[in-house]
Amino acid sequence: MSLGLLLPSGLLALFALLLPLLLHLTRRTARQPTVFAALRWLQESQRPKRRVLFDELPLLALRLLLLAALAVLLAQPVSSGMAGGRAWVVVAPGIERAEARAALDAPDAAWHWLAPGFPRLDRDVAAGTQPTSSLLRELDAALAHDTELTVLVPTRLAGLDAERPALRRKVDWRIVETEISPSSTAPPPPVQLVVRYELADDPGLSYLRAAAAAWHAAAPASAANQARADIAPTSEPLGPHARWLVWLAPGALPTHVRAWIEAGGTALLSATSQFPGTATGAVSWRDAQGGVIVRGRALGNGRVLQLTRELAPHALPELLDPAFPDRLRALFDPPSPPQSAFARTHAPRTGGPALPPVRHPLQPWLALLVALLFLLERWLATSPRREHAT
């Protein structure tokens, strides 16, 4: 563990230590000379050299310490990393404590959970999916470079992201065989495609109806009636349950539609619609040759997608592809990457970047010390003993 300062210029406040020094020099207890008649005939002896004396040394030392603590507080001290030398064993949730101890004989190691904050193994951790990959990267950056790390994981590991983590150290990856619970894949929620058009003979309407019919056929029987298309002119309201909108009208987007998107809706605009920012937005769909079909960007809590071509077969041959309904649905509801996998396929790789160590601010503890020193200084400065001493 190492200490550092986020704002070293805050140490310039140490010059304030001169103030209590000057204060205690100028406010020394006044001494009035008393003349004795019997002493005036004595020969005047050489005066001793004057020394710099500070009055009330305990109070002075306390004030100096208080100002020094304030200067360090202004410099924003932090501690980086964890102490090295002792091996670490982290256990992923899903493994019982007894199983973990039986799987590895390491009594001298530091045993912790692979959970936020890395609590000790003898403590309970909250249930739920832990961000395993992110926690591994965080722990790799926090531990000293020479600390040995062993990770105990169950057969199937949850809380993963899109790739195997790359760490700077070699990890002893041990799998504790556990029972795999069957994963229940919930069917996609029923959705209603809302289409608003300007022209009733728009060529894209028939393909949108066909896509909605394909969704209706694939929906569960209990929700089939909800997976239908609401196709109407632009003068019709969107409805309270609308989530996905295809807007086939030229010109600027109406205010009420923009407000609906900002509230969390997703809209696919025609190529003739006008909306700022979509021309440079992220690409959401490309054709087989790499050409851009749809671009999009965020708007409030929702998203705006815009076609770059007319929604017609001569401009967009993808309309004739049997996979068009699935591709259209993926625009509105992009598939999320898998978050669980077998642990044997997700062992960390070596050669990861040397990330900066995790910094832990020390300001709360230092602020508490400053408060205590201030209270002690006030108590000592206003003490009745001080009045009697002077």
The pLDDT profile of the chain, 390 residues, written as one tens digit per residue, is: 567 777 788 788 888 888 877 777 776 555 556 665 555 565 555 555 555 556 677 888 888 888 888 888 888 887 765 555 678 999 998 898 899 999 999 888 999 999 888 899 988 887 666 788 888 988 888 887 788 999 999 998 888 877 788 888 899 999 998 876 655 555 555 567 899 999 988 999 999 999 888 887 876 665 545 557 889 999 999 888 788 999 999 999 999 999 999 999 999 999 999 988 888 889 999 998 999 999 999 999 999 999 999 999 999 999 999 999 999 988 988 877 677 788 888 888 887 666 566 667 888 888 898 899 888 888 888 877 655 555
Cβ neighbours for 273, distance < 8 A, ≥ 6 positions apart: 247, 249, 250, 251, 252, 253, 306
Looking at the structure of the chain, the number of domains it has is 3
Residue 61 within any structural domain of the chain: yes
Query: Distances from the Cα of 215 to the Cαs of 203, 208, 265, in angstroms?
Result: 20, 11, 19
201 and 173 housed in the same domain = no
288 and 204 housed in the same domain = yes
pTM metric for this prediction = 0.49
Residue 184 within any structural domain of the chain: no
204 and 119 housed in the same domain = no
Bridge-based pairing state of the strands 229-233 and 193-197: parallel
Burial of 91 (0-12, 13-18, 19+ CB in 10 A): buried
Helical segments of 159-226, H only: 204-218
264 and 370 housed in the same domain = no
Contact 301, 264 (CB under 8 A): yes
Token pair in block for residue 59: 């109070």
Contact 363, 77 (CB under 8 A): yes
Residue 37 within any structural domain of the chain: no
Residue 284 within any structural domain of the chain: yes
Contact 215, 191 (CB under 8 A): yes
Residue 31 within any structural domain of the chain: no
267 and 244 housed in the same domain = yes
Print burial letters for 143-165: b (CB count within 10 Å at least 16), e (below 16). bbeebbbbbbbbebbbbbeeeeb
Domain that holds residue 12: 2-26+54-81+360-389
User: CA-CA distance, 342 to 31, in Å (whole number)?
Assistant: 86
Burial of 88 (0-12, 13-18, 19+ CB in 10 A): buried
149 and 126 housed in the same domain = yes
323 and 296 housed in the same domain = yes
Residue 321 within any structural domain of the chain: yes
Distance from the Cα of residue 188 to its chain's centroid: 29
Phi, psi dihedral angles at 244 (to 5 degrees): -120, 130
136 and 208 housed in the same domain = no
